[in-house]
Amino acid sequence: MNDTPRAAGLPVRLEVCVDSVASATAAAAGGADRVELCCALAEGGLTPSDGLVRLVRQRVELPVHVLLRPRAGDFCYDDDELATMQADLERLARLGIDGVVLGALGPGGTVDREATARLMAAARPLSVTFHRAIDVTRDAHEALEVLLNLGVDRVLTSGQEATALAGAAVIADLVEQAGDRLAVMAGAGVNAATAAALVQRTGVGEVHASCRHTWPSPMTWRNPRCYMGAPDGPDEYQRTGTEAARVQALRAALRTLER
């Protein structure tokens, strides 16, 4: 691991993952540099609707990168799922987005080079981020080399651990391996309390966070006998979303590294 502190004065870009118009505007108000837009964050994020993309594009001036993921679960996609992703790409490009976030793996835990290349070709000239599918590959360094050869612009990773801080050693190695050929962005468990240490330990120039807050539903009438999802799933009378104050706190923590 690279233990050399990050040089002072270099800005760190902040991407905030959002799943609603309200969260996107909160991210912008809090000082985010970019938003990653998706839906179903409780399932790790899925491709959002046209309506959501269009409204976020209208309401915020930040770059908007959109997640391309047709279902929850693993990242090993069949031909129909890949065709769905390509069709989604075509419609998303017409909505004025700035980038896409994607990832595809083979059954053996390696990057699906053919599928990724196909999706990238459909995505250009948009910016392409390969998401945390890299964190479930058999070898992150091997995967990164494939992505470098494919010309991906950015990789989002937790260093193959539950949080980016726990995976800091691997992230630092990936930063060194990538050099200036692509951006390595650290994500998972990033907040105002962890950001400075994470950046100093890894040397990343970008971090990814959701800055989420939970609050009660405004519903006053509630039927305790009926569930829209699983009975042991998330509380259906709670809402979660990005909170501007948490984005501001994270932005302030990152600014301490610029002094």
> How many residues are there in the chain?
259
DSSP conformational letter for 66 = E
Is the pLDDT assigned to residue 227 strictly greater than 70?
Answer: yes
> Would you list the domain boundaries of the chain?
13-213+237-258
**Residues facing 206 on adjacent strands:** 13, 185
**Residues facing 105 on adjacent strands:** 111
> Is residue 15 within 8 Å of residue 206, measured between CB atoms?
yes
Q: Taking the chain, what is the end-to-end CA distance rounded to the nearest angstrom?
A: 24
CATH number of 13-213+237-258: 3.20.20.380
The closest alpha carbon to 205, from 145, 151, 135, 154, belongs to 154
Assign 220 a pLDDT band (cuts: 50, 70, 90): confident
Cα separation of 147 and 108, whole Å?
17
pLDDT digits (tens, 9 = 90+) for 36-87: 999 999 889 999 999 999 999 999 999 999 999 999 999 999 999 999 999 9
Is the pLDDT assigned to residue 179 strictly greater than 80?
Answer: yes
Is the pLDDT assigned to residue 6 strictly greater than 70?
Answer: no
